[in-house]
Amino acid sequence: MATLKYSRQRESIKEFLMTRKDHPTADVVYENMKKIYSNISLGTVYRNLSLLSDIGEIQKLSSFGGADHFDGCVTPHCHFICTDCGQVLDLETDDMNRLMEKSVKNFSGKITGYDLRFFGLCPRCITHR
Amino acid sequence: MATLKYSRQRESIKEFLMTRKDHPTADVVYENMKKIYSNISLGTVYRNLSLLSDIGEIQKLSSFGGADHFDGCVTPHCHFICTDCGQVLDLETDDMNRLMEKSVKNFSGKITGYDLRFFGLCPRCITHR
DNA sequence: TTGGGTGCAAATCTTTTGCAGGTGT
DNA sequence: ACACCTGCAAAAGATTTGCACCCAA
């Protein structure tokens, strides 16, 4: 495995993600990084997002129909996706780890993790109806 | 909303999905449809998969990293994705509907559904290690 | 007859990758 | 110096869309 070397770009990307409560796509990260590094490339953003999520410093939220979203928060939590506006929100829940393990029946594989997403209307979209 | 009109292609696509226990991608559906309609187009397959999932006759499983998968079974059930071979399996679980609703805290939006996925090694990939 | 459905091909969107030069250690 | 990292641009993969023709109702 390759040795990790410091890079300003990577540091900034990680910092940026940790300050955001929404869950930006690669493109949004790119637009924001351009404010700091005017000629950073989209490829670099993708490479670093992918690298950071590989080493577990950020979380990649795969496709809700469009582009992937990235989450600077790696402690386990669930997400809510608004079916109207597409917004991705964090959700507070009881701890579900034990629940999850116990509820699976008749499976001889090995479960190492899970991903739970809720769908519906976010507070704002409910109001607008 | 447009009136739905019969189409042989759509019927076949739905039938095909219902006979499959795995969760084929659009491309796999396309390859199999070509056996029946030698010059069916990929666009038609995508249009119908999208239409069928809009009206709730099939289920679209968005991106596990690659192409979307489609499930002819619409009764609620969880999925397992093998992190080694990428296979998607159905999983038997306790009924989780009530569990899910109860576990969410402090959320003022409206939850209408959820999607639960487990990750790990499938039985076959465990053996090969 | 009319509006949805189809095949075909081009376009779009997202993400990955090859390459030559730059930079951290 | 060596290996990783970057910008750039091209490529790749998945899905959507415009168009002219076809077919179910």
Cβ distance of B113 and A120 shorter than 8 Å: yes
Over residues B108-115, mean pLDDT: 90
Per-residue pLDDT, B113: 87
Domain with residue A91: its CATH number is 3.30.1490.190
Which residues of chain B make contact with A104, given a CB cutoff of 8 A?
78, 91-93, 118
* Positions of chain A with pLDDT lower than 70, given as ranges: 1, 63, 129
**Nearest protein residue to nucleotide C23, judged by CA and C1' positions:** A7
What's the confidence (pLDDT) of residue B102? 82
Chain A partners within 8 Å of B96 (Cβ): 103
In the beta sheet, which residues pair with residue B69? B25, B61
How far is A117 from chain B, CA to nearest CA, in Å? 5
Give the pLDDT confidence score for residue B1 in this predicted structure.
Answer: 58
Same domain for A66 and A14, yes or no, is: yes
- Over residues B73-90, the pLDDT tens digits come to 998 899 998 888 788 899
Q: DSSP for A31-45?
A: HHHHTTSTT--HHHH
Q: Do A80 and B107 touch (CB under 8 A)?
A: yes
Tell me the whole-structure pTM to 2 decimals: 0.89
Statement to judge: residues A45 and A85 lie in one domain: no
Alpha-carbon distance of B49 to B70, in angstroms, equals: 8
Distance from residue A32's CA to nucleotide C20's C1', rounded to whole Å: 27
Question: A66 and A81: one domain?
Answer: no
Least CB-CB distance to B62: which of A65, A92, A113? Answer: A65
The pairing of beta strand B88-93 with beta strand B78-82: antiparallel
Residue A79 and residue A61 in contact, taking contact as beta carbons nearer than 8 Å: yes
Q: Which nucleotide has the least CA–C1' distance to B65?
A: C15
The reply to whether B62 falls in a domain is yes
How much is the pLDDT for A99?
76
Q: Which of B92, B104, B122 is the closest to A106 by Cβ? A: B92
* Higher-confidence position of B108 and B86: B108
Q: Measured between CA atoms, how close is A57 to chain B, in angstroms?
A: 18
Q: State whether B17 and B61 are in the same domain.
A: yes
Closest CA of chain A from B120, distance in Å:
4
Distance CA A100, CA A102 (A): 5
The percentage of residues in chain A with a pLDDT greater than 70, rounded to a whole number, is 98
What residues of B are in contact with residue A125 (Cβ under 8 Å)?
109
A30/A82 same-domain check: no
| B4 burial type by CB count under 10 A (0-12 exposed, 13-18 middle, 19+ buried) | exposed
Q: Which domain holds residue A50?
A: 8-72
Report yes or no on B1 lying in a domain.
Answer: no
A42 CA to C15 C1', in Å?
10
pLDDT tens profile B18-49: 999 999 999 999 999 999 999 999 999 999 99
Beta strands in A46-107 (DSSP E): 59-61, 69-71, 78-82, 88-93, 104-105
Distance CA B94, CA A103 (A): 5
pLDDT at A1: 59
- Please report the pLDDT score of residue A83 as a whole number: 83
